[in-house]
Amino acid sequence: MAPFAVALEIDGAGAHPAAWRRSAHTPDRHFDPDRLRRLGEEAERSGFTLVTLEDDLLPGTAPAGRIGSPERAAFLAEVTSVLGLVPVVPTTYTEPFHVSSALAALDHISHGRAGWVVGSTPDVAAARAWGRPEVSDAAGLRREAADSVHVVRALWDSWEEDAVIRDVPTSRYLDRDRLHYIDFEGATYSVKGPAIVPRPPQGNAVVFAAPELVDPVQADVALVSGRDVAAVASAAPNAAPRRFAEVEVALDTAGQTGAERVAALAQHADWPDRGRLRYTGGAEGFVRLLTELAGTVDGVRIHPLVLDEELPVLAKSVLPHLRVARLAAAAPSGQWLRTTLGLAPSVNQFATTEG
Amino acid sequence: MTRTDRNDVPRPDAQLHFGVFFQGVNHWTIWTEPGSGSQIAPESYRAVAQTAERGLFDAFFLGEGLRLREINGKVHDLDVAGRPDAITQLSALAAVTTRIGLVSTSNVTYNEPADLARRFGGLDLLSRGRAGWNVVTTDNAWTGENFRRGGYLDHADRYRRAEQVLGAARAIWDSWADDAAARSTDAAAWAREGSIAPVTYRGDLVDIEVTGSLPRSRQGHPVIFQAGDSSEGRDFAARNADVIFSAHGYEFDDALAFAEDIRRRLAVAGRPADALRILPGSSIIVGDTESEAEEKARWVREQQITPGTALAQATLLWNVDLSGYDPDGPLPDVEPQEQDNSGAFGAARRPDSRATVAQWRDAAAAHGWSLRQTVIELGQRARSHVGTPAGLAEKFARFVREGAIDGFNLSPYLVPDGLDDVVDSLIPALQERGLYRTEYTGTTLREHLQLPPARAGLGVPPAAQFDREASPVAQK
């Protein structure tokens, strides 16, 4: 049984739309690579299992932009050594071929620490930004997500792991019988393959997705929403190999309670209800909540109210308690993210049965 | 004729600029040697980039292929294949290098401009102004089979699409005012009202509306590289590029003629003659003596042209199945067939196969060469500058001071150590002669290349400049 996994969402300033007002950095430092570096180092040192990085081609409002998540994750791969790196990559208008290549590269660069939060882009402004036909209905978003996951996984499988043979006597670098055309034919496009990037170290990077968007059997980890533990428990799909609860958190800090901090930010903006479990209060209570959740799900993804404020509290007063209780590991313990999460090795759909 | 007085040349103080092209997908990267490392492990990329940075190179350069190469409908299995997504790999290298430029080859046919602009903008910020974009086009539907749109672009539209993609990307890079993001958490808003201009770009091949996600980097825009050698490609470069990655860097007269042609085209485009750097692709083989260098070059060539590769090269030229022929026997006695231009083997095909085959036969008969020996001598080759550090330095002094080139984009034949000789022995010889920097004087790729900040960029109020309909189609 794998330890309870604790993921941290590190995009932007925090889960609250006005979080930037309480950040330790000003907006003009938002794109500073040193800030990203320190964030990755701190998340790893604190013992988080992995970080996720929200993304979309369309900018938000505060912050009004972000560097692409695969680029940020690749940068973090060089400044961390065990932390899982899991960018959000949308599927509605992106090219599955490019998505597959970027995530495979991330897995190579990080020696098997890559994951993918399957995203979607309901805002039709994205269609005009991409120059593609609009996809606006839920069924269309689900179709594009399902096709992307299918194609991306097939491309990861299109090179068997031993395809590079370097056989000097026959002058062959590759065994072409260990490369496979995927010949995908979907409702809106087709993809031939094979990939241009060799099979990722993990076989398939770990695929995270909300069950509302992607059929849980297509994912490795279902990201489960629900306003309380019971709702999370009933929404967690049995078909998914692993289930993580989505948790928004406003913790008490040295000078203020979580509730006071939320109230202060409420002067600027409301904190929209995304249907997720939300905890406001002290670290001890949050540890109790996580302990309770550990009986239901395999991990959590934490969305902090204000990243710069919650992260030190999580590092000092939450994660150590989980370690003392032997609920969470001191650091990701597997050779790959996949093994850290207790997932089975990837099976290659195209594997040839020779020897 | 070489001028002897160093002041009697057009550019007496010119210095060389080097890039390194981390190769792979072609037969010049030797993979059969024990010293040939992984073509995918991050350690290989880090090692080459850091060696180049130690050698004060301007840039580390990655190629791109969007479909594995094929011969006769089968994946080509003789050369290195497989490589990381370039922008992703370079974003990682941004964290472990501090000065060297990071250049990705990215195709404008099967990428969309808003996405590319954002990916390059992100790399430029992560590297603090060291990003470059080698703009390439393709029209082939064979590559398109991996993408949503499939093949869609006519050959004639390749560079029109490129120009529109680049135009849209530049508008996106310029869409943030330099002071858009607030300098205080007490500001009225995260971004100053009106400081981020929505971009509308209307062309027949690019028609988009997007709000940019990123501010400009220190260098304004990523540096634009261009490698096409056709007349259209040269004009595109003269209008748009900062650097030409040319194929004219071996014969002095050929290099100078190319450079003068580019300068004429620059003048037509209304740009100054020094607005663009010319970095031919090249390989450099260094030895302590001329004969040692020649011997090494010979060895490299033999490693590159394995028996299987000799046959594959001949198959490409003949366009006939030659699998029954012995690479160590005589040249095939069949006649070559018309070439296929599907793009399945990149740009490797030769235009006039009959004449080339006739030439090969004559040479083979005259020297008693086997098929493999003929390919080694005459086949498609990664030509090299071969010599001692001092000899090469003198040779390159003429090239650069006469204005034939600005430097080279070097392709080591071995990963990851193939650049060591150049950095350890040639660079000091160049430095002694004042032909090469002794330290980095700037921090951005534009500064390394001695290029001015991006043209459309710094200081222009973006709202006034770009919130309008561009009409690139009307331009000629």
Angle at A156 between CA B316 and CA B37, to 5 degrees: 65
Q: Is the pLDDT of residue A145 over 90?
A: yes
Contact state of A59 with B213 under an 8 Å Cβ cutoff: yes
Q: Is the pLDDT of residue A93 over 90?
A: yes
Predicted TM-score of the model (pTM): 0.95
Closest to B214 (Cα-Cα) out of A210, A344, A329, A60: A60
- Yes or no: say if B341 and B302 are a contact pair by the CB < 8 Å rule: no
Q: Which two tokens stand for residue B369?
A: 């060469």
**In the structure, what pLDDT confidence band is assigned to residue A57 with cuts at 50, 70 and 90?**
very high
Peptide bond preceding A63 in cis form (omega within 30 of 0): yes
- Yes or no: say if A65 and B216 are a contact pair by the CB < 8 Å rule: no
Q: Which two tokens stand for residue B455?
A: 């043209």
Contact state of A75 with B95 under an 8 Å Cβ cutoff: yes
CA nearest B42 in A: which residue?
A109
Minimum distance, in Å, between the CA of residue B338 and any CA atom of chain A: 26
Minimum distance, in Å, between the CA of residue A123 and any CA atom of chain B: 12
pLDDT tens digits along B226-283: 998 899 999 999 999 999 999 999 999 999 999 999 999 999 999 999 999 999 999 9
Mean of the pLDDT values across residues B285-296?
96
Mean of the pLDDT values across residues A62-79?
98
The DSSP result for B410-470, as a single string, is E--SSTTTTTHHIIIIIHHHHHHTT-S-SS---SSHHHHTTPPSPTT-TT--HHHHHSS-B
pLDDT of residue B469: 37
pLDDT of residue B323: 86
Query: Which residue, among B126, B196, B199, B217, would best test binding to A if mutated, counting the most A CBs under 10 Å from its CB?
Result: B126
Q: How far apart are CA B102 and CA B129, in angstroms?
A: 9
Closest Cβ opposite residue B126 in set A64, A75, A164? A75
Closest to B149 (Cα-Cα) out of B182, B117, B107: B107
Closest Cβ opposite residue A105 in set B85, B185, B308? B85
Q: Is the pLDDT of residue A355 over 60?
A: no
| Domain residue limits, chain B | 6-291+382-468, 306-378
pLDDT of residue B463: 33
Closest to A87 (Cα-Cα) out of A69, A74, A105, A104: A69
What residues of chain B lie within 8 A of the CB of A36, using their CB?
A: 126
Q: Is the pLDDT of residue B472 over 70?
A: no
Q: Which residues contact B334 (CB under 8 A, 6 or more apart)?
A: B318, B320, B322
Alpha-carbon distances, residue A93 vs A131, B30, B115, B375 (angstroms): 9, 39, 10, 46
SS3 A177: helix
Q: Which two tokens stand for residue B192?
A: 């100053």
Q: Is the pLDDT of residue A88 over 80?
A: yes
Closest to A171 (Cα-Cα) out of B44, B418, B83, B302: B302
Query: What share of chain A in percent tops pLDDT 90?
Result: 94
Contact state of A173 with B80 under an 8 Å Cβ cutoff: yes
What residues of chain A lie within 8 A of the CB of B125, using their CB?
A: 31, 33, 67
pLDDT tens digits along B103-134: 999 999 999 999 999 999 999 999 999 999 99
pLDDT of residue B476: 29
What mean pLDDT, rounded, does chain A reach?
Answer: 96
φ/ψ region of A283 (left if φ > 0, alpha if ψ in -120 to 50, else beta) reads: alpha
Q: Is the pLDDT of residue A235 over 70?
A: yes
Query: Which residue, among A11, A75, A308, would best test binding to B if mutated, counting the most B CBs under 10 Å from its CB?
Result: A75
- Yes or no: say if A59 and A65 are a contact pair by the CB < 8 Å rule: yes
**In the structure, what pLDDT confidence band is assigned to residue B460 with cuts at 50, 70 and 90?**
very low
CA nearest A105 in B: which residue?
B84
End-to-end Cα separation, chain A, in angstroms:
32
Mean of the pLDDT values across residues B280-309?
94
How many beta-carbon pairs under 8 angstroms link A with B? Answer: 221
Closest Cβ opposite residue B190 in set A20, A36, A129? A20
Contact state of A129 with B114 under an 8 Å Cβ cutoff: yes
Q: How far apart are CA B402 and CA B396, in angstroms?
A: 10
Contact state of B150 with A109 under an 8 Å Cβ cutoff: no
Contact state of A27 with B187 under an 8 Å Cβ cutoff: yes
Q: Which residues contact B476 (CB under 8 A, 6 or more apart)?
A: none
Q: Return the H-helix or E-strand segment holding B386.
A: strand B384-387
pLDDT of residue B455: 55
Helices and strands (DSSP H and E) totals, chain A: 11, 13
Q: Is the pLDDT of residue B458 over 60?
A: no
Reported residue count of chain A is 355
pLDDT tens digits along B141-194: 999 999 999 999 999 999 999 999 999 999 999 999 999 999 999 999 999 999
Contact state of A191 with B145 under an 8 Å Cβ cutoff: yes
φ/ψ region of A204 (left if φ > 0, alpha if ψ in -120 to 50, else beta) reads: beta
Closest to B101 (Cα-Cα) out of B13, B219, B14, B213: B219
Q: Which residues contact A75 (CB under 8 A, 6 or more apart)?
A: A33, A36, A37, B91, B92, B94, B95, B126
CATH number of B6-291+382-468: 3.20.20.30
What residues of chain B lie within 8 A of the CB of A59, using their CB?
A: 196, 211-213
| Beta-strand relationship, A84-90 and A115-119 | parallel
Q: Is the pLDDT of residue B465 over 60?
A: no
Alpha-carbon distances, residue A243 vs A2, A4, A152, A318, A336 (angstroms): 12, 11, 21, 21, 18
pLDDT tens digits along B94-108: 999 999 999 999 999
Query: What share of chain B in percent tops pLDDT 70?
Result: 91
pLDDT of residue B99: 98
Look-up: residue for tokens 């007269």? B253
pLDDT of residue A100: 98
pLDDT of residue B475: 31
pLDDT of residue B338: 77
Minimum distance, in Å, between the CA of residue A134 and any CA atom of chain B: 13
**In the structure, what pLDDT confidence band is assigned to residue A178 with cuts at 50, 70 and 90?**
very high
**In the structure, what pLDDT confidence band is assigned to residue B456 with cuts at 50, 70 and 90?**
low
pLDDT of residue B382: 65
Contact state of B209 with A125 under an 8 Å Cβ cutoff: yes
Contact state of A174 with B42 under an 8 Å Cβ cutoff: no
Mean of the pLDDT values across residues A111-134?
97
pLDDT tens digits along B15-53: 999 999 998 777 888 998 888 999 999 999 999 999 999
What residues of chain A lie within 8 A of the CB of B41, using their CB?
A: 108
Minimum distance, in Å, between the CA of residue B200 and any CA atom of chain A: 9
A247-251, B309-313, B360-364, B368-372: the lowest-pLDDT one: B309-313
CA nearest A187 in B: which residue?
B148
What mean pLDDT, rounded, does chain B reach?
Answer: 90
Mean of the pLDDT values across residues B466-476?
33
Q: Is the pLDDT of residue A337 over 90?
A: yes
Q: How far apart are CA B353 and CA A266, in angstroms?
A: 74
**In the structure, what pLDDT confidence band is assigned to residue B349 with cuts at 50, 70 and 90?**
low
- Yes or no: say if B83 and A197 are a contact pair by the CB < 8 Å rule: yes
pLDDT of residue B4: 54
Say if residue B74 is exposed, middle or buried (CB neighbours under 10 Å; 0-12, 13-18, 19+): exposed
**In the structure, what pLDDT confidence band is assigned to residue B467 with cuts at 50, 70 and 90?**
very low
Q: How far apart are CA A234 and CA A296, in angstroms?
A: 9
Closest to B53 (Cα-Cα) out of B384, B429, B419: B419
pLDDT of residue B352: 80
Contact state of A174 with B92 under an 8 Å Cβ cutoff: no
